[in-house]
Amino acid sequence: MVNSAALKQEEALPAGMSLELSNVSHGFSLHGEVLPVLSQVSLNVQPGEFVALLGPSGCGKSTLLRLVAGLEPPTQGALIADGEAITGPDPSRVVVFQDPTLYPWRTIYDNVALGLEARGLLRTHKSRIDDALKLVGLENFHKAFPHQLSGGMAQRAALARALVNDPRLLILDEPLGKLDSLTRLTMQSEILDLWQRAGFTSLLVTHDIEEALFLATRVVVFSPRPARIVADIPVDRPYPRHRGDSYLADLRHKLLGLLGMDATW
């Protein structure tokens, strides 16, 4: 679905962002008590890496992404992007959530235009909207409203809304979690394609081991809540990868073991 002609028109994208998390801890106060969610997470991400964060459901991976996005400040520790502390949201770090959260009152085109509009770049960078829509194969859906799209198309539109801002870090919070399995596989390839071309750094939260191994250059495994890093495993395999690859199968076995699901192998 990714249109390669559209990408050639794109101006050269800046390289990915580097990320440095040191001793990040976070908690929520619940009925007066502090519920720890993240515990002493330290992680370095090189520019252009594709890092998958893997862990049991509800362990706090998504909270980590919210901290990286700047939507919340951490209780403890430091988050540094390109040598500067993260103090708030920034359009260079864009999130794609599990739900596409398109604005139902805006057309697809206007949804994708959101970031440019918010930053007052609508006039000067208008062509980027068409490029982004082409990139995700939605060039014929400018005037459609979100409720008229299928789940996969809506998530593609959300992806276009992120890409139009030329992010240097793309934060993916289980973006394919609610899609059917075939659409999921197709979109995994599309995301990979976009990442390879644009060169941004990618941070993906998922609990699908196969997805992590198919996409990421590195898989970071978290413990149940409060999340700590249990393992940090490089996936040293060239792209395009094959799902049946025996090297990946071995890694999969290993990851299942780390997640305490060894018995199912």
Partner 1 sequence: MSSSSATIDQTPELVSGVDKPQAANRIWVGGLVAAAAWAAAAFVTGFIPDDDDWGYSLQLAHLLAAAAVVLTLSGLFLPRLPVLYGRVRAKAAWLVVLALGLAVWELVTAKLGWLPRPFFVPPQALLEVYADEWRKLAECTYHSVLLLGSGYLLGAFAGFSVGVAVGWSRIAAYWGHPLLRFIGPLPATAWLPIAFFIFPSSWSASVFLIALATAIPVAILTWSGVSAVGSAYYDIARTLGASQRFLVLKVAVPASLPSVFVGLFMGMSASFAVLVVAEMMGVKAGLGWYLSWAQGWAAYANMYAALVVMALMCSSLVALLFRVRDHVLAWQKGLLRW
Interacting span for partner 1 (CB under 8 A) from 4-12, 39-47, 52-60, 90-98: 90-98
Which H or E run includes 213?
helix 209-215
Complex with partner 1: residue 97 or 222, whichever CB lies closer = 97
CA-to-CA separations, 125 to 122, 160, 208, in angstroms, rounded: 6, 14, 36
> Shortest approach of partner 1 to residue 5 CB, angstroms?
26
Is the separation of the CB atoms in 206 and 174 below 8 Å? yes
The alpha carbon of 262 is separated from its chain's Cα centroid by a whole number of angstroms, namely 27
| CA–CA separation, 133 and 141 (whole Å) | 8
Within 13 Å, how many C-alpha atoms sit on residue 163's CB side?
30
Is the separation of the CB atoms in 130 and 139 below 8 Å? yes
Interacting span for partner 1 (CB under 8 A) from 41-49, 111-119, 207-215, 226-234: 111-119
Binding status of residue 10 toward partner 1 by CB under 8 A: no
CA-to-CA separations, 260 to 188, 246, 265, in angstroms, rounded: 25, 21, 11
For partner 1, how many residues bind (rule: CB under 8 A)?
26
Unique residue bearing structure tokens 């890409």: 163
Q: Work out the burial of residue 144: count CB atoms within 10 Å of its CB; fewer than 13 is exposed, 13-18 middle, 19 or more buried.
A: middle
Binding status of residue 115 toward partner 1 by CB under 8 A: yes
Binding status of residue 99 toward partner 1 by CB under 8 A: yes
Interacting span for partner 1 (CB under 8 A) from 10-18, 91-99, 212-220, 246-254: 91-99
Query: Which one of 3, 20, 142, 145 is in contact with partner 1 (CB under 8 A)?
Result: 145
Residue 159 φ then ψ, to 5° = -65, -45
Interacting span for partner 1 (CB under 8 A) from 10-18, 36-44, 78-86, 92-100: 92-100
Site string for partner 1, 15-54 (x = CB under 8 A): ----------------------------------------
Look up residue 198 and give its amino acid. A
Complex with partner 1: residue 114 or 258, whichever CB lies closer = 114
In the region spanning residues 151 to 180, those forming contacts with partner 1, defined by CB under 8 A, are 161, 165
In the region spanning residues 47 to 86, those forming contacts with partner 1, defined by CB under 8 A, are 69-71
| CA–CA separation, 194 and 187 (whole Å) | 10
Cα angle value 204/74/229 (rounded, 5°): 50
Binding status of residue 94 toward partner 1 by CB under 8 A: yes
Complex with partner 1: residue 65 or 209, whichever CB lies closer = 65
Binding status of residue 93 toward partner 1 by CB under 8 A: yes
| CA–CA separation, 55 and 208 (whole Å) | 9
* Residues near partner 1 (CB under 8 A): 69-71, 89-91, 93-95, 97, 99, 101, 103-106, 114-115, 117-119, 145, 147-148, 161, 165
